[in-house]
Chain A
Amino acid sequence: MKLNLAIAQISTHLGDVNANLEKHLDLIRQAQAKGADLIVFPELSLTGYCLQDLVPTVAHKPVQGDAVFKPLLEASQYIDLVVGFVDEDRRHRFYIASAYLSGGRVVHIHHKVYLPTYGLFDEGRFFANGDTVRAFDTQFGRMGILICEDFWHASPPYLLWLDGADLLIFTSASPGRGINDQPMLESARWVEDINRAYASLFTSFVLHSNRAGYEDGLNFWGGSTVYDPNGDLVSRSAYHEEALMFTDVDLNQLHRTRARLPLLRDERPILVLHELQRMLGFGQPRKAAK
């Protein structure tokens, strides 16, 4: 079975949701015309990244009645979509979110769990953190979505793997940084290293959609990638440019890799659970702090 994947490596207008929506609909049409099954947009693709005080003004609810999601849900009748947006819950907390849309409905919403608030990042100041990591079923198999800093922690990809995800969709708006004599920025190398590692360790597909363009002095380095369950690079978009990348993802590779390398079969989550319970003091009286 093949998944005709499109990765939309886009630049965005900061805080101009309608302009970004137009770009989404245009690329969705292009991907659809080329027979893509799924198109993946990067983190905060509908809003831009460094939103700061714009956060409350760009939030949208992924429902049929929302002016931004209505055309996206309609488009999802013909092609599955992953879009990045700011989600506002009923109690008016704001989340960095990615939604998987298919068949005119919302299949899954992921709220970014880890909000980097250090160095050049200030997400924890403006956003609430999500508190679930869940896989979900699609017509192409079981998938999971993580957003940028989420996959800098080993546990969310691990949890998705145990929850049945065979395709890990990673989205990000990763600012380029770290220059040396190599053609690749350090930030690009860091991300590619870990994506390859997850693909290898979890014998799964890792699909990464990263942003391009600039916000003030920040550059977003693009370089979106697809790694297969062997950890081999299937495709990569250009660095620092907008691109609509098409990749035939051969889902049968899961069978071949896992027949060779039964890491999933041999994984022992109960052992992990027991050790975590011990470390966190569950099931035994807490020792008084010294």
Chain B
Amino acid sequence: MEHEKIDLLLNPESVRKILTGFIRSEISRVGYTRAVVNLSGGLDSSLTCYLAVEALGAENVLTLLLPYKSSTSDSLEHSEMVINALGVQSLTIPITDMADALIGRFPDMSRVRQGNIMARLRMIVLYDQSEVFHALPVGTGNKTEILLGYTTLYGDSASAINPLGDLYKTQVRQLAKSIGVPAAIIDKPPTADLWVGQTDEGELGFTYEEVDQLLYLLVDQRYKPEDCIQAGFSESFVSTVIERIRRNQFKRLMPPIAKLSNRTVGYDFLYLRDWGT
């Protein structure tokens, strides 16, 4: 695709300082000292572990490895690389039996349904272990997937705090490189690993490199669609992405409450989470 080169470079030291400070502040101010992270062996969760360890210390971070029977061996190997490099505690809890107990009842279940069940089971284990480890679950979603809605609602989207949610995937890659995430993890094709051969870019139909540049113009720089087309992006790509952003807004909000009273949560009962801390 021929379009202007859009600069998504970041200063890793500055971003690292803000994000580790964020993790430390938002966990400690509610009385916790520890974090738990679901580690898939992919880029986002690996970087999240590195940041959590830098913020809280390795002894205060628990990583969970939650493989399903179809998970690739890469996922576990790469997770082990992160665990060994950081010296964090880890717990492996296969989700196959739990998932298959439900999946087995519906022989025609689609891949998407199965994938959502896996993502939501991983959320259940994450929150359950957070109680055992006295920790807050740290999310791993990035800005690209949040905007595109490429996430399972109440599955991988669920967490107590989300350090990477304002970084595009290509920026996550830069930060990961600078912080020392192993190259094997940075260089492999991103995948949710919910079924064999799945890749993000294959499923989305475009590359992160391309979509991040378009999202940056649309969202960060407030370009009109026609300005994006003028900048060299194809009309169909621009409209596909805009529609994806709109259609997935529901994943980015708490469910709307039907307003009846004079003061309603979400409308005119307004407090930050950090209220009183």
CB distance from B274 to the nearest CB of A (A): 5
B275 interface contact, C-beta 8 A = yes
A181-220 near B? 1/0 per residue, CB < 8 Å: 1111100000000000000000000000000011111010
Chain B residues with CB below 8 A from A239, complex form: 14, 17
Segment touching A, from B5-13, B79-87, B113-121, B200-208: B5-13
Are A216 and B272 in touch, CB under 8 angstroms?
yes
Chain B residues with CB below 8 A from A213, complex form: 25
**Which A residues, 229 to 245, have Cβ-Cβ distances below 8 Å to chain B?**
239-240
Residue of B13, B18, B165, B275 near A14 (CB, 8 A) is B275
**Which A residues, 1 to 48, have Cβ-Cβ distances below 8 Å to chain B?**
11, 13-16
Chain B residues with CB below 8 A from A284, complex form: none
Q: What secondary structure prevails in chain A residues at the interface with B?
A: loop
A131 interface contact, C-beta 8 A = no
Are A219 and B22 in touch, CB under 8 angstroms?
yes
B67-109 near A? 1/0 per residue, CB < 8 Å: 0000000000000000000000000000000000000000000
Residue of B18, B269, B275 near A219 (CB, 8 A) is B18
CB distance from B21 to the nearest CB of A (A): 6
B15 interface contact, C-beta 8 A = yes
Q: What CA separation (Å) do A31 and B9 show in the bound complex?
A: 40
A156 interface contact, C-beta 8 A = no
A132 interface contact, C-beta 8 A = no
Q: What CA separation (Å) do A13 and B15 show in the bound complex?
A: 23
Residue of A13, A176, A183, A217 near B277 (CB, 8 A) is A13
A50 interface contact, C-beta 8 A = yes
Residue of A11, A14, A185, A214 near B22 (CB, 8 A) is A214
A252 interface contact, C-beta 8 A = no
Residues of B in contact (CB 8 Å), total: 27
Residue of B9, B18, B268 near A180 (CB, 8 A) is B9
Q: What CA separation (Å) do A219 and B274 show in the bound complex?
A: 13
Chain A residues with CB below 8 A from B7, complex form: 180-181
B40-81 near A? 1/0 per residue, CB < 8 Å: 000000000000000000000000000000000000000000
Are A184 and B14 in touch, CB under 8 angstroms?
yes
Are B276 and A15 in touch, CB under 8 angstroms?
yes
Are B18 and A176 in touch, CB under 8 angstroms?
yes
CB distance from B131 to the nearest CB of A (A): 23
A266 interface contact, C-beta 8 A = no
Residue of A11, A15, A185, A240 near B275 (CB, 8 A) is A15
Residue of B13, B21, B271 near A53 (CB, 8 A) is B271
Q: What CA separation (Å) do A181 and B9 show in the bound complex?
A: 5
Are B271 and A179 in touch, CB under 8 angstroms?
no
Are B272 and A183 in touch, CB under 8 angstroms?
no
Are B273 and A214 in touch, CB under 8 angstroms?
no
CB distance from B67 to the nearest CB of A (A): 31
Chain A residues with CB below 8 A from B1, complex form: none
Q: What CA separation (Å) do A49 and B26 show in the bound complex?
A: 16
A52 interface contact, C-beta 8 A = yes
Chain B residues with CB below 8 A from A181, complex form: 7, 9-11
B270 interface contact, C-beta 8 A = yes
Q: What CA separation (Å) do A269 and B271 show in the bound complex?
A: 45
Query: Given A52-B270, A182-B11, A16–B277 Cβ distance below 8 Å?
Result: yes
Q: What CA separation (Å) do A184 and B13 show in the bound complex?
A: 10
For the complex with contacts A14-B275, A52-B270, A176-B18, 6 further pairs of A-B residues with Cβ separation under 8 Å are A13-B276, A13-B277, A14-B274, A53-B268, A182-B11, A216-B274
Closest 7 CB pairs of A and B: A181-B9, A52-B270, A214-B25, A216-B272, A53-B270, A14-B274, A179-B10
Can you offer 11 A-B residue contacts whose CB atoms are under 8 A? A14-B274, A16-B277, A50-B274, A54-B275, A180-B11, A182-B11, A183-B13, A216-B272, A216-B273, A216-B274, A219-B21
